[in-house]
């Protein structure tokens, strides 16, 4: 069996190459992806993020998968922006449960002048807890991106969602180029990019290939790549869509790892519907991050008890545990040097 070397950072992927990766025998694909993953990451460590909806509902965008769109009748009750105290309390709770990154999402097309300064204060508060910060606030201009950088934001999430070819079947109120422009503003400001997509929206394999090409051919690979499985919400246009085959999802994770060997690949939405065995295959294929907690914005997520049991059975240690272990070891070494 001859394995193509794909751990070099490339930004020139073509569709035929990516299709060939998807078409490989599954065992070969997983072996290659795991080998690349092991070369760049601890294969038994997992990064934990928690996501909080800080402003829920009445979004002006018409994303076909989203329960928060004002265009869809999902019976979701809209909520105003959370207070700073509420966000701090949620961040502290997330850290106590093992998360080292706290992500905040607002159902906006783009930040407004009234609430954006309040979000900046939230980011500073999260940073004061010694946690990494991430926000997803919709489209950004360069000035907004710079303000986020100045308060210490670590990551900005803005998913491409799907391929440029399939995009119009899912969203009409903003263009694919709008999303690319926001990502460019984020990168130009020096903020880490978190960008991925959603599988199971009716797209074909060629669309999944094209999505990964868009991400991997960016001038700098996204630092974090969330791979979501559609969570079907009654009242949205995509409710009732055929579900993606589990092994096709695993293949997508593996190909993402091969194309972006240094990026963190996150299992995001849809984990509640994934079996432990499916998640284990995804971790072997190169996924090394999850969203942790009972809720992801407005949809259910795998519970913390289930996750803790799964991580224990797989021998996975969280990145926060790793940081604590390293800190304790460093302290012990300092004490020893003083004796």
Choice among 59, 209, 251, 257 that is catalytic? 59
Choice among 63, 101, 251, 257 that is catalytic? 63
Beta carbons within 8 Å of 112's beta carbon, 6+ residues apart: none
| 323, two tokens | 């940081």
List C-alpha distances in Å: 64 to 72, 88, 146, 172, 235.
8, 32, 30, 9, 10
Would you call 194 a catalytic residue per the annotation?
yes
Choice among 24, 101, 103, 251 that is catalytic? 103
* Segment holding 54, helix H or strand E: strand 45-55
Contact (CB, 8 A) for 54 and 81 = yes
Q: Could you give the 3-state DSSP secondary structure of residue 313?
A: helix
Choice among 208, 251, 257, 266 that is catalytic? 266
Choice among 24, 101, 134, 209 that is catalytic? 134
Would you call 59 a catalytic residue per the annotation?
yes
Would you call 266 a catalytic residue per the annotation?
yes
Would you call 103 a catalytic residue per the annotation?
yes
Sign, Cα dihedral of 165, 297, 74, 56: negative
Choice among 194, 251, 271, 282 that is catalytic? 194
Name the one residue in this structure whose structure tokens are 């490339």.
Answer: 10
Cα 337 to Cα 339: distance, rounded to the nearest angstrom: 6
Choice among 24, 66, 208, 251 that is catalytic? 66
Sign, Cα dihedral of 290, 296, 302, 308: positive
| Catalytic residue positions, numbered | 59, 63, 66, 103, 134, 194, 266
């Amino acid at each position: 069996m001859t394995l193509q070397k794909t751990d070099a950072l490339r930004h020139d992927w073509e569709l035929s190459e990516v299709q060939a990766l998807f078409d490989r025998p599954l065992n070969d694909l997983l072996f290659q992806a795991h080998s690349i993953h092991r070369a760049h990451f601890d294969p038994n460590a997992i990064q934990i993020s928690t996501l909080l909806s800080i402003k829920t509902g009445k979004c002006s965008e018409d994303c076909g998968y989203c329960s928060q769109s004002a265009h869809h009748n999902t019976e979701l009750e809209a909520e105003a922006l959370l207070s700073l105290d509420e966000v701090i309390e949620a961040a502290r709770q997330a850290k106590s449960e093992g998360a080292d990154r706290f992500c905040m999402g607002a159902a906006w097309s783009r930040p407004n002048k009234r609430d954006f300064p309040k979000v900046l204060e939230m980011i500073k508060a999260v940073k004061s807890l010694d946690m990494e910060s991430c926000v997803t606030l919709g489209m950004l201009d360069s000035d907004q991106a710079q303000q986020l950088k100045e308060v210490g934001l670590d990551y900005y999430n803005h998913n491409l969602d799907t391929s440029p070819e399939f995009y119009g079947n899912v969203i009409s109120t903003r263009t694919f180029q709008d999303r690319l422009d926001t990502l460019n503003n984020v990168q130009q400001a020096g903020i880490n990019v978190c960008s991925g997509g959603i599988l199971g929206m009716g797209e074909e394999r060629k669309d999944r290939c094209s999505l990964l090409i868009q991400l991997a051919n960016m001038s700098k690979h996204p630092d974090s790549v969330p791979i979501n499985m559609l969570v079907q919400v009654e009242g949205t246009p995509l409710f009732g869509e055929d579900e993606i085959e589990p092994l096709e999802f695993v293949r997508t994770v593996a190909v993402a790892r091969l194309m972006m060997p240094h990026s963190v690949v996150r299992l995001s939405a849809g984990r509640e519907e994934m079996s432990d065995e499916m998640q284990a295959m995804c971790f072997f294929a190169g996924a090394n991050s999850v969203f942790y907690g009972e809720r992801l914005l407005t949809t259910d997520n795998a519970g913390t008890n289930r996750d803790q049991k799964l991580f224990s059975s797989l021998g996975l240690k969280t990145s926060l545990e790793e940081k604590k272990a390293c800190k304790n070891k460093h302290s012990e070494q300092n004490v020893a040097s003083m004796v």
